[in-house]
Structure 1
Amino acid sequence: MIDPHSAWVISRGLIDVTLMVTWGCFGYLSWAVPAPLSTAITRRLASLSMWCAAILCLAVLIALPAQVASIGDGWCDIGGPGILEYWRDWQVCR
């Protein structure tokens, strides 16, 4: 099984790549491309944005438990009460 830190790094990479692709494509289309061409290209990129959104949701669902497992002692600590207390105390201190 993959260790928690590697899972977190991979999921963060997927999050960053999907956000760069999505914002890069649509940012370029909104700023540098004429409106009629932008509309036509946006329709063609609709499936890409849907795939990016699906990958982003999956990566976030992987990143959160992986980060908790990295803070704790491994995958078995994801649902443990100790990690919830640690997170609560960390939030109060910040």
Structure 2
Amino acid sequence: MIIVNAKFQVKPEKRDEFLSDIKKLITYTKAELGNLTYDLYQETEDENSFMMVENWEDESSAQAHSQSLPFLEFSEKVASYSARKPELKVARMN
């Protein structure tokens, strides 16, 4: 299993756009082969700080996702939403 945590600090003026676009990505991704979970969480103390938690069956499923058109389209926009560079952590479970 592959676990990915991606933390986003979003510019306040881009929050609605970020949420609209990431909700489309979430809907698409939850139907992808090998996806176990793909959920976005908002921090309780900062409405512009979010954590995406992804669980994938295996490396090939996670790789296929990272090459999907919806993911690539979202990735192109990340810099415009972000107050700072997103933090990404990946764990591989045996």
What is the TM-score when the length of structure 1 is the normalising length? 0.33
Name the structure where helix makes up a greater proportion of residues: 1
Name the structure where strand makes up a greater proportion of residues: 2
If asked which structure has higher relative contact order (CA below 8 Å, sep 6+), I would say 2
What is the TM-score when the length of structure 2 is the normalising length? 0.33
